[in-house]
Structure 1
């Protein structure tokens, strides 16, 4: 079990580097965005970003799911290269139709999204950028399956640099604002595919298998509906804020959400990228359920620690990244979204049973129920609490999502998760976040000192509550002995990556 955990952790670090590189641009450029975009314009950018998620979720046809699921299936080992080609051609055709429709209906779509028709060019750029991401999803999935973590990281880092340089040039020097941002994203997506061109051609046979595609679509299409509603759970708050409030409200909430969402982007997604192949690879091994249980405990600890850190220093981060005081109230959103992401991660792990037992209809049912609940709760809470209402709705919806997923997953594929430890770390985390919020009115020096202290208190408190097992404490001590001397870091890293 420890070998699987070590492999997952190692791949998480390398995948994390690549995954961070693709998402880091939005974080690194926050000072540029907040200094060159008004809160209103940042709200427009936020609507574009969530619309991109909807497009990718729906028109990606969820083909990466059967691609992952069938790659290790003995029946399809000889058809892997054909599967790759068939998936990419199908998505390229879908995206071509999507772009054509977007060009024809750009005025109408602009009015629906923004209330004005002057953003037609943004509609087209949004569609182009999303289409490139859809097509790239298949080679990205293949790199994960083949554990080509270094190639994954390299290609994403180059994409980051291309997008970063072009964005700064277009936004800072040419004052193209939101249009410049999406031109840069589109070019970055094209660069990513060009870099992977040789890798793609090495892993495809130029053979389109319609029978294979039908089988994959039979599995994936039911997931498209659930994918749409799943994304709606995440983005509905921005749309409801747009229609019940103003673009400025969307901008403030989106900044707070983006700060908290760094946990999901930089940590949870990296862990998922590493764990997903392992989850399916060990699903027939005798001790797999024990490993799944530990996956939830360990990832839960990591994500809760990150949630505490981001919540504690959310105010300082936002003031550092956004010099415009109009953005500063966004820090209030951060703790609720961060805790929601912790619940989101627990739900991802608890869904292992439903995925292994192929209960896609159950997954779809849960997602649809939660998305409707989320939409209703957002409408109610936003109308009462405005921006903060959206953060309350996000946390509440993620809690309901977790409970439903856990109950149904356990019914079809029971795993003895360490619920006592999960509850323990949850209560401790919430208490620390609440107590730390009381220091926000103090001077920055006292505030930072107290918050750093509270962050250290979390693992210490868990230790006092006997959260860690003896073998885990032994491993922690061993790791400390290895890594406490900086002069040994190079040798240890080389040994770790072997």
Structure 2
């Protein structure tokens, strides 16, 4: 069981790292070329993408997993579950695309980008294509076709990366130096688009991925069950609310910056904050890779006798790895940040990164804890918890940005407080409704201890050398204590590995 989970997680993890590496590499290239003001256009659109994506998929990925498992050994019903959920997403996405194109000009004005209508249209097509692909991707996961899933995800990122580089950097240089094909490109290339060509590159990648997924999309006999669809929507709507609340916590702070700060200041603040927020991707990489592999595992092993103990063990190790990554990143943030973002216009934003990293760690723990309401079919509890977090985010951002001069510090603090609150509520509520024997003392030590040491490491001094030195000393001490605490489990693990090797030889 653990071997299967590990293999799936490794495949999803490696692919997820590769998928995220290309956008991660692209960010420093873009911010080095474009200042915070120009980069804010790109950040602004994609900060809204999360909310729109949640609405378009409306919880059908998780709902598909749940209902697919309910009809074990019933291939026809599982086929119906797939096409019912897929059809639901297609209808919503196509309607969204149609309405968006019809109202593109007033929509661009409301979004405060009246001169970027063409970018908005490209953006609408990206969202629709990606949403329609969501359930087929979930189908690949539940069929354990992890290699195919990973290949398509990587293909999407590779195409997007190189298309962006070609459109934004290669073609302008070719025209400038009168290279081969310069005459042709000079007729069709618009230098005024600038960073807008990143949207064109994304659209091209989404279309290729969509076409590659067509065999999976259309595999099977088409059947749509209206009665089943209503039941699925009943399960899905709380997940949608929870997803919306989660995205509000994660990305809507950029929108608060845009609408509550004065024009000019808002764009610069948004550009800086969005760029340094990318450093938290290191935590997000691990979180996403783990959840991609573990979510189907949770559902498929829910009826096992020792499932609670298994979930608790997985949580402990997730907490350990998250804590180690958090403390290492914070201890070495000064040189990692400057290596990642070479444009000095963005460096002032590094001060809020430790708070964002800790908040992202809390979010990872919360998402692991959330399995209790998914397995008990009480997804509305998740909507309530995420709604509380969203209310905190909205309230703190609105009050802080409107009545103080703290700027994006408000956004970082709101993220921290929101995720901490959600994590604590989910733990205590989950233990009452669906008890899982978590070792809460170890969880407090690993997550709480790493968070506290991270804050000490970064804010202990204004001198970079001192911060790096203190941070790495604390990191080594934390690793030593962790190994000492987990010594018995490590020895047991080694013994089991030896037993497996002996068994293979025999």
* TM-score, with structure 2 as normaliser: 0.88
Look up the match of 1:197.
214
Measure, in 2, the Cα distance between the counterparts of 1:476 and 1:124.
56
Look up the match of 1:29.
26
Segment drifting more, 269-278 vs 449-458: 449-458
* 2:378 is the alignment partner of 1:359: yes
1:314 Cα deviation (Å)?
2.6
Q: Kindly tell me: are residues 253 and 149 of structure 1, through their superposed partners in 2, closer, same or farther at Cα, counting changes over 3 Å?
A: same
Look up the match of 1:79.
77
Q: Provide, for residues 321-348 of structure 1, a one-character-per-residue CA deviation record: whole Å limited to 9, x for no partner.
A: 3222111112112111111111111111
Q: Kindly tell me: are residues 343 and 166 of structure 1, through their superposed partners in 2, closer, same or farther at Cα, counting changes over 3 Å?
A: same
1:159 Cα deviation (Å)?
1.2
1:248 to 268, 277, 281: 268
Measure, in 1, the Cα distance between the counterparts of 2:205 and 2:457.
40
1:102 Cα deviation (Å)?
1.1
Check conservation: 1:381, 1:392, Cα contact below 8 A.
Answer: no
Look up the match of 1:209.
225
Look up the match of 2:436.
415
Q: Kindly tell me: are residues 441 and 366 of structure 1, through their superposed partners in 2, closer, same or farther at Cα, counting changes over 3 Å?
A: closer
1:218 Cα deviation (Å)?
2.3
Measure, in 2, the Cα distance between the counterparts of 1:429 and 1:63.
35
* 2:361 is the alignment partner of 1:342: yes
Q: Secondary structure at the match of 1:208?
A: coil
2:282 to 262, 265, 279: 262
2:196 to 176, 179, 189: 179
1:441 Cα deviation (Å)?
4.8
Check conservation: 2:48, 2:252, Cα contact below 8 A.
Answer: no
1:297 Cα deviation (Å)?
0.8
Q: Kindly tell me: are residues 22 and 443 of structure 1, through their superposed partners in 2, closer, same or farther at Cα, counting changes over 3 Å?
A: closer
1:476 Cα deviation (Å)?
6.1
Check conservation: 2:37, 2:267, Cα contact below 8 A.
Answer: yes
1:235 to 242, 246, 251: 251
* 2:284 is the alignment partner of 1:286: no
Q: Secondary structure at the match of 1:196?
A: helix
Look up the match of 1:154.
151
Q: Kindly tell me: are residues 223 and 396 of structure 1, through their superposed partners in 2, closer, same or farther at Cα, counting changes over 3 Å?
A: same
Check conservation: 2:43, 2:274, Cα contact below 8 A.
Answer: yes
Q: Secondary structure at the match of 2:252?
A: helix
* 2:150 is the alignment partner of 1:133: no
Measure, in 2, the Cα distance between the counterparts of 1:126 and 1:66.
26
Measure, in 2, the Cα distance between the counterparts of 1:47 and 1:228.
17
Check conservation: 2:89, 2:131, Cα contact below 8 A.
Answer: yes
Measure, in 2, the Cα distance between the counterparts of 1:447 and 1:339.
17
Q: Provide, for residues 86-129 of structure 1, a one-character-per-residue CA deviation record: whole Å limited to 9, x for no partner.
A: 33233222212111111122222222222x41121122122111
Check conservation: 2:23, 2:161, Cα contact below 8 A.
Answer: no
Look up the match of 2:105.
107
1:144 to 141, 144, 148: 141
2:416 to 392, 395, 398: 395
Q: Secondary structure at the match of 1:416?
A: coil
1:376 Cα deviation (Å)?
0.3
Measure, in 1, the Cα distance between the counterparts of 2:49 and 2:234.
25
Check conservation: 2:71, 2:77, Cα contact below 8 A.
Answer: no
Segment drifting more, 51-60 vs 220-229: 220-229
1:14 Cα deviation (Å)?
0.7
How many residues were matched structurally? 474
Q: Kindly tell me: are residues 217 and 450 of structure 1, through their superposed partners in 2, closer, same or farther at Cα, counting changes over 3 Å?
A: same
1:443 Cα deviation (Å)?
6.2
* 2:51 is the alignment partner of 1:68: no
1:447 Cα deviation (Å)?
6.2
Check conservation: 2:459, 2:467, Cα contact below 8 A.
Answer: no
Look up the match of 2:480.
460
Q: Kindly tell me: are residues 177 and 300 of structure 1, through their superposed partners in 2, closer, same or farther at Cα, counting changes over 3 Å?
A: farther
1:139 Cα deviation (Å)?
1.4
Check conservation: 1:378, 1:390, Cα contact below 8 A.
Answer: yes
Q: Provide, for residues 235-278 of structure 1, a one-character-per-residue CA deviation record: whole Å limited to 9, x for no partner.
A: 221111112220111111112211113311x1101100111111
Measure, in 1, the Cα distance between the counterparts of 2:361 and 2:380.
25
Check conservation: 1:351, 1:405, Cα contact below 8 A.
Answer: yes
**1:318-333 to 2 correspondences below 5 Å:** 318-333=337-352
Segment drifting more, 68-77 vs 244-253: 68-77
1:452 Cα deviation (Å)?
4.2
Segment drifting more, 251-260 vs 469-478: 469-478
